[in-house]
Chains A and B, each alone.
Chain A
Amino acid sequence: MGKTWIISPTFDCLFICGGLFWLLYGLHLFALTQTNHSQQLALLAAVSNLGFLFVSETHTISTIFVLDTKDSSLSVRSILIAVILLTIGILCFFIPALPAILLKVYLLWVPQHFLAQTRGIFLLYCLKANVAITTTKRFWLLTTTRLTMFYWMAVLLTDYKQGPTEFLMTRLPDWGVLPTWVASALLLLSFFSILTLSLSFLPISTNGTKTKLPPAHAWAMLITSLLLFLLPRERLDDIWLYAPAYFHGSQYLCLVYARIKESKPFIAFTMLPLALLCAVAVFAGLPMLISNFSVPLVTALAVVFCCIQFQHFITDAEIWKLSRKPVRQALCSTITEEIQFYKPRALDGSNFK
């Protein structure tokens, strides 16, 4: 039973599958039903802010704890990425329009990052529960997450006022290039692909043996992730108060912990304060340092934020691939050699992130 979870049933349900996130959103909705809800909402806003500081920012930084020369996660490629991003960051201080462009690219990249992570965790849960993922199922899983991602990107690229017009105190560029029907069509296609994905997992009797279904918590996590982008806009504003920290960030921290608990036990044990310290140094210290060179603090903040986030996105896409042996060894060490050998072949080429 315990082998099907990444850390433990309680931890997984709360921090990986979205239990805490739905709990907070439920409290938010409950507070809204009260006649005098200003105090409750202020408290929930504080919870959201604390989550941003202690979970969301730390999760971005915690990527560095996974990097290791032994398992080739720290390679020339990762150093090259850092150098390229540093160059872009320096360029931002000379080209005034660049920080706003970087922020817009970041917002467009977010759905890919969120959905790729949940897709990887879904596959990991299937792997742990000995659920065979055929090529068709994998195709529909990828299609569903990709269509949802494209839908959200289309929304941001359709009507300027539909998405955020300002982010990190910087006015975003107007890239409303797509007609309205594109987003609507992608939304319909997303729902259709979710339906097809669900149908592809229906237990069909083949050769007298029934196929196993993915665990319920894996489904809950995947559906939560898709709803973050597919729900109506009026709901999303409230949902996104909690999603980055209490769904995506907590998920990632749990995974990092599970990955390094054997190889780096001290860092795993003290991961949260260490990551917090690094996050303060990077997200607060670095912009303040840069602002000393007559760069506006807001610009410095935006540039540092984007560069660190991009490093996190690109590095993650490489180091969390389930097809990599160190990743499988760290996250699926309890499963048999035969399954370890068979399943990644079925998952061949799929990104964990």
Chain B
Amino acid sequence: MKEIIYASAQPTEMVRVNTLACLEALLNILVNSAELAMIAIGCLIILTVIYKKNKIRNIAKNFRLTSDAGKFNSKDKLAILCGGCLMTSGPALTFCCNWLVRLYADNLM
């Protein structure tokens, strides 16, 4: 995107375009870290529920599924759903931010 902006930008607009490029790089760092943290927390919630339920605790020992799997109650299902939402909302947030930056760049052109 940076190349497209540089290629199509008028010389008078170069300063503003450069600022935008820096802003984009900073945004990427921030958005990526938030996204990664959300993925990690979501994954952690799901794995904790699975572990506590003793569903596949044996995976931690020998990568085999146990036959005496406990059933998930509504709270567990809700926790897994929340974890899943957290994991997917990270990439969704990145997509939205990228889209907004692109929209801003288009308007600038």
A residues at B contact (CB < 8 Å): 7-8, 11, 53, 261-262, 265-266, 268-270, 272-274, 276-277, 279-281, 284-285, 288, 297
Contacts and interface: CB of A to CB of B under 8 A. Distances in A.
A273 B39 CA distance: 8
Contact of B41 (A261, A265, A273): A273
Contacts of A280: 33, 36-37, 40
Contacts of A276: 36, 39-40, 43
Interface in B3-37: 26, 29-30, 32-33, 36-37
B32 A277 contact: no
A172 to B, nearest CB: 21
Given A270-B51, A277-B44, A265 B60 contact: yes
A281 B36 CA distance: 10
23 contacts: A8-B62, A53-B32, A261-B60, A262-B61, A265-B61, A266-B60, A268-B60, A269-B47, A269-B60, A270-B44, A270-B48, A270-B51, A273-B43, A274-B44, A276-B36, A277-B37, A277-B40, A280-B37, A281-B37, A284-B32, A285-B33, A288-B30, A297-B26
Given A269-B57, A284-B32, A8 B63 contact: yes
Interface string B68-84: 00000000000000000
Given A269-B57, A269-B59, A284-B36, 9 more contacts: A7-B63, A11-B63, A53-B36, A269-B51, A270-B47, A277-B44, A280-B37, A281-B37, A288-B33
A273 B40 contact: yes
Interface residues of B, number: 21
A261 B61 contact: yes
B26 to A, nearest CB: 8
Given A277-B40, A280-B40, A266 B33 contact: no
B interface majority secondary structure: helix
Contacts of A284: 29, 32-33, 36
A53 B44 CA distance: 17
Nearest to A284: B33
Contacts of A268: 60
Contact of B57 (A8, A265, A279): A265
A318 B63 CA distance: 29
Q: Which residue, of A272, A274, A276, has the highest number of chain B Cβ atoms within 10 A?
A: A276
Given A53-B36, A266-B51, A284-B32, A272 B43 contact: yes
Nearest to B42: A273
Contacts of B47: 269-270, 273
A217 B104 CA distance: 53
Contacts of A262: 61
A295 B6 CA distance: 28
Contacts of A8: 62-63
Q: Which residue, of B29, B40, B57, has the highest number of chain A Cβ atoms within 10 A?
A: B40
A175 B39 CA distance: 41
Nearest to A275: B40
Contacts of A265: 57, 60-61
Nearest to B87: A273
Contacts of B43: 270, 272-273, 276
Contacts of A281: 37
B39 to A, nearest CB: 7
Nearest to B41: A277
A295 to B, nearest CB: 15
A274 B40 contact: yes
A273 B37 CA distance: 9
B89 to A, nearest CB: 15
A112 B61 CA distance: 32
Nearest to A267: B60
A241 B51 CA distance: 34
Contacts of B63: 7-8, 11
